[in-house]
Structure 1
Amino acid sequence: MGISDMFSRPALDPAKTPGTLTPRSRKSKALLIVIAAVLATVAAVGGATYYMTRAVHLRIAVGPPNSDDVKVIQSITQMFSRDRSYVRLRPIVTEGATASAASLTAGTTDLAVVRGDLDLPKNAQAVASIRKNFAVLWVPGAHRKGSITKIEQLAGKRIGVIGRTPANVNLLKVILTQSGVNFDKVQTVQFSTTGFAEAVKNEKIDAFLAVGPLNSKITSDAIAVTAKDKKVTFLSIDTADAIAQKYPAYDSGEIPAGTFGANPARPDDKIDTITFAHHIVARSSLSEATVGALTRQLFAIRQSIQNEFPLSAKLETPDTDKDAAIPAHPGAAAYVDGEEKTFLDKYSDYIWGSLMALSALGSAGAWFASYLRKDERVTNSSLRERLLQMLSAARKSTSMEELDAMQAEADEIMTNTLHCFEDGAIEEGSLTAFSIALEQFHNAVADRKAFLLQMPETPTRTPRPHVA
């Protein structure tokens, strides 16, 4: 095959050459890649936003029905919902503090409102104190000869306990036993907190016990109903310090003079007693971040709750000491001690992990993009070799038509190469090398055309006549 035959073949058509991407196909593929990347980014940002801002719903056990504790928790629930807080509450009403504690043990609730003097579940940890309760012992009537003035004199007497919960009877037992009174020697009669005035009329009761906040309306009303001749004798619990030492759930405290009335003053002087708290407790397995957020939300609305329930709500932070009767949940303790983790503290590992993942995805994307451009690079490489072949052939060509055909083919090769460069299939250095080769080719074509134009035409020789 001669040189002219080799270069007389038709020019390469990128649209028909296998593996060659046309401008339209290149743009379509690039558009698909961009759309996929945008969708992946939107999905990742949306997922992260949902994860960070989604509300966490916690079930909280509280009882008995219609009690002040239930009303307080319902109000807190409404405030959290109104403020669109991160942590939301879902109250589960139980028969009382004992049943609430049992639900926490069973794992049917995440939180519970319980008395601090109950046998609490081992997995219960304090989030907040909802109020402090005071034990109040009194005897109807004023001091008279033979009347009861000390707890030690309650042996063989009938004592009325306000509230149906067994926990109040257990509390009375602790007080009497520590004061030297055999609990088996006394008779207890329990009264409901509602309808107390009617129930006590037909009962002969020597003393009463009520448990609640200092400003408890139930306690004040019970004292007023049982007062004889408007006189009441309050019994001081002189063993309060000893009880507090022996039973970690209790603290010693004082009831100031005039707490339950000013005219006459009830009591007329301060008296010693024991106190304990009602707590909001959480399962120890509950997330530290979730409990920390819950504690922060509770104390953000504390003033509003106390204004709404001045007689039954006084939110206090939990005891964070290691020897506390109810250990504080680590999330609540971090809030109280000012050690709550910042956003970066909580999510730095996730952030760095995400950056590493994005870096890996970027590398994978770059490899994939390079893989998609592989055919373009192979085709362009073959076209570049074709240009070099034409450069050599142009210097030996003897036909103007052949030179024009090669020049047209070179123009198509140039178009294809520029498209490859725009798509990133070849680098700038390769484009520069191609430009040099193309310039040399055009120079060679121009020189060869000039040479062919200067060559004289070969004259036509007349044949000699044949001589016989």
Structure 2
Amino acid sequence: MSAEGQMSSTEQSPPPRPKVIKTNQQQVVLYVVLTLILSLATVWGGRAMLRNSETLTFAVGDANSDEARFANKLATVLRNDASRFRIKIVNNPDNAKALVQFDRKQADLAILRTDGKVPSRARALAILEHDLVLLLGPGNKKVKSLAELKKKKVAVRAENDSSLAFVRSILDVPDTPEAAARVQMAPQGATLDKLLAPASGYAAVIAIVHASKAVRDKAYEQVAKRGGFTLNAIDEAKALARKIPGISEETLTAGTLSASPEIPDDDLDTIGLEWLLVAQSKMSGSTGGELARIIYENKSELGLDSGFATRIEPASTDKDAFVMAQQGAADYINDDTKSFMDKYSDMMYLGAGALSVIGSIFAAIYAKITRIAPEKASELSTAILDVGERVEHAHSLDELECLADELEAILRTAVVGLRDGTISTDGLDTFKLGYEFVRDEIGMRRENLKRHAGDAQRNAGDAERRAGDAEKRAGDADKAAREAAAHDDTNVVVVKTAQSA
């Protein structure tokens, strides 16, 4: 290739085009990453906002009561669980006042025992504790039925006066001063031994105790070893459960109160009451379900040292339950194994919405602003025509081959660009027409140069032959001249010789 051809090719070849597709792909990848990051941030922010958006008011009695201490434990568990709920504890003089506050919609949560007045808006989240009714007779004396106690002196051993009203209701004691005097609260500080002693005058002692405390209380075993009492069955348990709402049938297993001697010595029927954690009926299902989940999953941490709430149970989901279960808690109880979709459907819907909105915004930005548009095929026609204009000025095959290589490079660029999207099909017909025209022009120019090159070669051969002929003729002339000169020299010698003679 000639220096002139190389220079022409270097000066006229089109500059390399930027890789549009690579730039666009980088933008797409960047926008996809930003979309995912912003969507995750939106979901996280929404979840954080929801998790910190609800404070529940818990109405309880005295600060030293079991209800108040349970509320404090629940508040601690919610904080440790990083829950979205926060508990605001409101103390009252007693639990009855707390239920009044709950009934007035001034509290979201409360604890009630099923023998009291149950607010109509109360919905059960969990059963925290069972109270057992223990019918104790002095010595070996058995009490055959509750009816025989109606006209006898009975001591009620319990923590509050509400239990006294409950005992009077199950004994069907009339509301008269005389009857009230027979069924009394046990004196403050009176031990079981004193109450069951003959001198006390009590025909029986009815103790209402938390089931968890009854199992732990060693006083029953100590009194039993001295032969101090008889634990009696309440055969009317089923009838009382049907007659009085809130009463539950309970069974004391052998050895519940004392292992040695074994009391009772066989399973024994009695009655009981339930302590319920209740919520307002207006509480959403998701809130109730999440609260129920946290309570059931952290039962061991919610139990008090005194034994209260050490055996938390799911609320009854029966339609005829004394206190209906909160809807969210019922859903959780009836379907304890929640699927991934059930647990995270809200976050998934939020994520899908955020992904759609943010993705649409970035797609619009890419399409309208930042996207590098592909070059039109017709724009390459200008480079082809430039090559065509230089074809007629090519005076050698080397120069022409440089132009042909340049044309093929333009074609290769177009093919690759059409494949990867850097060149659009707009004006493709014009490009084809221009390419074919210049290609044919190069072909014709090549034939023309080859033809002229052949004629010049033939003319050079003829000139060379003519030069040979001329050289041959010159040689012949020189030879003739030499021969003539030699003949002249011979004649001179002959003449000289003749003269000498």
| TMscore range, shorter length | 0.5 to 0.7
Which residue does 2:330 correspond to in 1? 333
The answer to whether the Cα contact below 8 Å between 2:55 and 2:85 also exists between their aligned partners in 1 is yes
Q: What is the CA–CA distance in structure 2 between the aligned matches of 1:323 and 1:131, rounded to whole Å?
A: 20
* Alignment-derived partner of residue 163 in structure 1: 159
Matches of 1:370 and 1:311, distance apart in 2: 66
Residue aligning to 1:116: 114
Contact 1:154 1:186 in 2 (8 A): no
Aligned to 2:128: 130
Distance 1:78 1:34, change over 3 A: same
2:87 aligned with 1:90, yes or no?
yes
Equivalent in the alignment of 2:279 = 282
Match of residue 186, structure 1, among 160, 180, 186:
180
Contact map agreement 1:137 1:208 (CA 8 A) in 2? yes
Match of 2:41 among 43, 46, 49: 46
Query: Residues 140-178 of structure 1, C-alpha deviation per residue, up to 9 Å, x if partnerless?
Result: 67759xx999554444857555323x532331232122x
The DSSP-based 3-state class of the residue aligned with 2:314 is: coil
Give the gaps of 5 or more residues in structure 1: 1-10, 15-21, 455-468
1:324 counterpart (321, 324, 330): 321
Distance 1:369 1:36, change over 3 A: closer
Please name the residue that 1:253 is paired with: 250
Q: Would you tell me which structure has more helix in proportion to its own residues? A: 2
Amino acid at match of 1:113: I
1:109-134 C-alpha deviation (Å, 9 max, x unpaired):
44333212333333322222112111
Q: Choose 23-32 or 40-49, whichever is displaced more.
A: 23-32
Once the two structures are superposed, residues 209-247 of structure 1 have per-residue CA deviations (whole angstroms, 9 ceiling, x without a partner) of: 4322245369968989999x9744667655432221023
Change beyond 3 A, Cα 1:349–1:314: closer
Confirm whether residue 66 of structure 1 aligns to residue 86 of structure 2: no
Map 1:431-446 to 2 at 5 A: 436=432, 439-440=435-436, 443=439, 446=442
Counterpart residue number, 1:176:
171
Cα distance between partner residues in 1 of 2:367 and 2:217 = 84
Residue 171 of structure 1 aligns to which amino acid in structure 2? F
How far residue 426 of structure 1 moved from its aligned partner, in angstroms, is 3.7
Paired amino acid for 1:126:
A
User: What is the alpha-carbon distance in structure 2 between the residues aligned to residue 289 and residue 299 of structure 1?
Assistant: 15
Aligned to 1:4: none
Q: 2:379 aligns with which of 356, 373, 383?
A: 383
Distance 1:217-1:205 versus aligned 2 partners, 3 A rule: farther
After superposition, the CA RMSD in angstroms is 5.8
Residue 234 of structure 2 corresponds to residue 240 of structure 1: no
Q: Distance in 2 between matches of 1:367 and 1:412?
A: 35
Shift of 1:298: 3.4
Alignment of 1:364-375 (within 5 A): 366=363, 368-372=365-369
Query: TM-score, length-normalised on structure 2?
Result: 0.60
* Larger Rg, first or second structure (1 or 2): 2
Whether contact under 8 Å (2:164, 2:184) holds in the other structure is no
Within-5 A mapping of 1:423-462: 424=421, 426-427=423-424, 429=425, 436=432, 439-440=435-436, 443=439, 446=442
The one-letter code sitting in structure 2 at the alignment partner of 1:245 is R
Q: Aligned partners of 1:345, 1:320: CA distance in 2, in Å?
A: 20
- 1:223-238 alignment runs, 5 A limit: 231-232=228-229, 237-238=234-235
Tell me: CA distance 1:450–1:238, structure 2 relative to 1, closer, same or farther (3 Å).
closer
1:394 counterpart residue number: 389
- For 1:317, the aligned partner's letter is P
Whole-angstrom CA distance in 2 between matches of 1:283 and 1:225? 44
- Structure 2: any 5+ residue segments left out of the alignment? 1-11, 453-501
Question: Taking structure 1 as the reference length, what is the TM-score of the superposition?
Answer: 0.63
SS in 2 for 1:323: coil
For 1:127, the aligned partner's letter is: L
Alignment size in residue pairs: 426
Alpha-carbon distance, 1:315 to partner: 1.7
One-letter code of the match for 2:159?
Answer: G
> Separation in 2 of the partners of 1:311 and 1:190?
22
Q: Which deviates further from its counterpart, 128-137 or 86-95?
A: 86-95
Task: Go from structure 1 to structure 2 and tell me whether the alpha carbon gap of 1:302 and 1:345 turns closer, same or farther (over 3 Å shift).
Answer: closer
What is the aligned partner in structure 2 of residue 462 from structure 1? none
- Within 1, Cα distance between the matches of 2:260 and 2:361? 85
**Closer, same or farther: CA 383–256 of 1 in aligned 2, 3 Å:** closer
> In structure 1, how many angstroms separate the alpha carbons of the residues matched to 2:250 and 2:360?
68
1:357–1:94 distance in 2 versus 1, CA, 3 Å: closer
Tell me the distance in 1 between the aligned counterparts of 2:348 and 2:258: 61
